[in-house]
Structures are given as structure tokens and as C-alpha cells.
A = this chain, B = another copy of it.
């Protein structure tokens, strides 16, 4: 009975599916001629979110981080499955979680078509499916020497908010209030990813910090990069904390930005700006791809900065 109760929170009509929740499988009709982009993420309480977090926010973010992977491919969101382990059936928690989850789903036209529920420590596992025309996906392996490096939105806000929450960074409360939404309510750059089809050479979403994620592009594309620290876009509030090493780390290597980092030929600068403007998203040119391997960050004086942290490693973090 309790088990049936859970289905209630997540069963809605699914006009975009042949058959939604309630059978052994969902049945979907992919758009003829499109490729399917698929990504899975698992989020654990105590690691990816805390027991104190708002359940609506957890619903929002759990789907947002998956949509961010579709955004990084330039894929149009279509369907999702949600598997959830819960210590108990908590009506208030599930209602709020589902509200946050479906608000994000509706924003991007993605339908929940299946999943699983079981009893256990709070764990969320989501698989998203999107569609992209053949040959137009934004991959990590397409960066070319001479490409501009771009990022969307601003960097470091979520990591600053987390550092503040964890007591690693002192911030004025009024300042903290301005970066906390980046941590709890990230907005995936789905429309930007789609707009960049055919323009960008490569893309990734910044989930583990700019340096680490750009590093994945460099590795897969077998190129290097130079970044201008002063060019990196940040929230105005963040500027006031740049004297703190932790703030600089947040911008370069903080997690949870969920912005896009992408590369495009210099000849496409106007096209990039027009694509970004068409979806009301700020983009900033922050460096360039080099033929030589290695990742260098130049400070305002044109000197290479020494970099300690390059990204977040889930397993190394505690060792």
C-alpha cells in the first residue's frame, strides 16, 4: 500500500511517451533520424545534498544536474527515469520533492516515464534521454588549436555558497544570500546547448570546476589551453572576495556551476554571441585552445598562476 502511494507522487500523464509509468518498461517513439543522448547521475544524501536541504530544492537540482549533461551535448530533453531509495514514505517530503522535480521537468519539456522506489538511505538515480541531429552533438573531443574558449553565466557562485555554508569562507549575510541560489537551484543551459549546435567545436558542463572539466576537453581533444583569470565571469558579489584564496579556487575549480564551457573557432565569434543572445544567456570568452598540451591560467599581469586544485574527485576528496 505504501509502495503504491509512492507511485502517486510521480505518475503524471506522459503525452510524449507511447506508454509511461506502470508497465515493465516505458515505451518511447524516438524522432526518426535523430540520435539519442543518454546520461545517468546518482545523488546521495550527505554527499551531494544535506538532510537539511529543502526537498523541493533537491527535486530541482537532481534533475537540473542531469539536464546539464544533455545541455553539454546540445541535446533536446525528452524523457527521464527516476529511481529513489527512501528511509520511509514521508508525504510532505515526497510532495515537495516532486514539485521541485516536475517544475524543472516542465521548464525543459522532459517527461518522467519510469523508475523504481525502494527503502534505504536517501539516494536518487536519474537517467535522462534527449535527442540531437546526427553529427551535431557537442562532444568533448572536438576542440581544435586556435579555438576560443567560452563559458556561460558566472563561475564560482555555488562553490562560494558551499564554502560559506561549511564555514570555510566568511561572507556578509547579504552577499551570501546572492550566491546561495546558485548552489541550491542551478539552471541547466539547455537552450544554449541547442543554440550552439553547428557552431561550437566542443562542449562540457562545468560540474566539477572549470579547470577539471576543461581538462576533460583537452584530454579528449589532445590539445592544451590558456585561460585569462581576469576574464572569468563571476557574480558581482564574488569580486569583493577575490583577495581570498578560497574564492579564487571556487572560480577556477569549485564544483556545481552547471554552466557550459565550450570552444568555437574565432571565425564564429559573432555566431556564438548571436546564439547566446537568442536564448538570453550571457557568454564570455575566457581563453584559447593551444596545440601544445597543458593548461595555463594567466593572471592580470600576464603571468602564469600556480594552480593547486584542478577539480573535484569523489574518491580522493577524503583521502
Chain A residues engaging chain B, CB cutoff 8 angstroms = 1-3, 6, 18-19, 22-30, 32-33, 35-42, 44, 46-48, 69-70, 72-73, 75, 79, 81-85, 88-89, 113-121, 123, 125, 127, 129-130, 132, 134, 137, 139-141, 203-205, 220, 313-319
Contact = CB atoms under 8 A, between A and B. Distances in A.
Given A30-B36, A40-B127, A24 B81 contact: no
Nearest to A113: B38
Contact of A117 (B37, B114, B141, B314): B314
A38 to B, nearest CB: 5
B19 A139 contact: yes
B27 A137 contact: yes
Given A40-B81, A116-B42, A123-B42, A29 B35 contact: yes
9 contacts: A2-B316, A38-B114, A38-B129, A40-B82, A42-B83, A42-B85, A47-B120, A83-B125, A125-B125
A40 B114 contact: yes
Given A29-B35, A36-B30, A316-B1, A121 B119 contact: no
Given A44-B120, A117-B314, 10 more contacts: A6-B315, A18-B134, A23-B141, A24-B69, A28-B35, A28-B36, A38-B129, A41-B83, A116-B125, A123-B125
B3 A315 contact: yes
A72 B93 CA distance: 33
Contact of A123 (B1, B69, B85): B85
B123 A25 contact: no
A117 B316 CA distance: 13
Contacts of A40: 81-83, 114-116, 125, 127
B42 A25 contact: no
A220 B315 CA distance: 45
Nearest to A39: B25
A73 B268 CA distance: 47
A200 B314 CA distance: 47
Contacts of A84: 42
A319 B220 CA distance: 51
A47 to B, nearest CB: 6
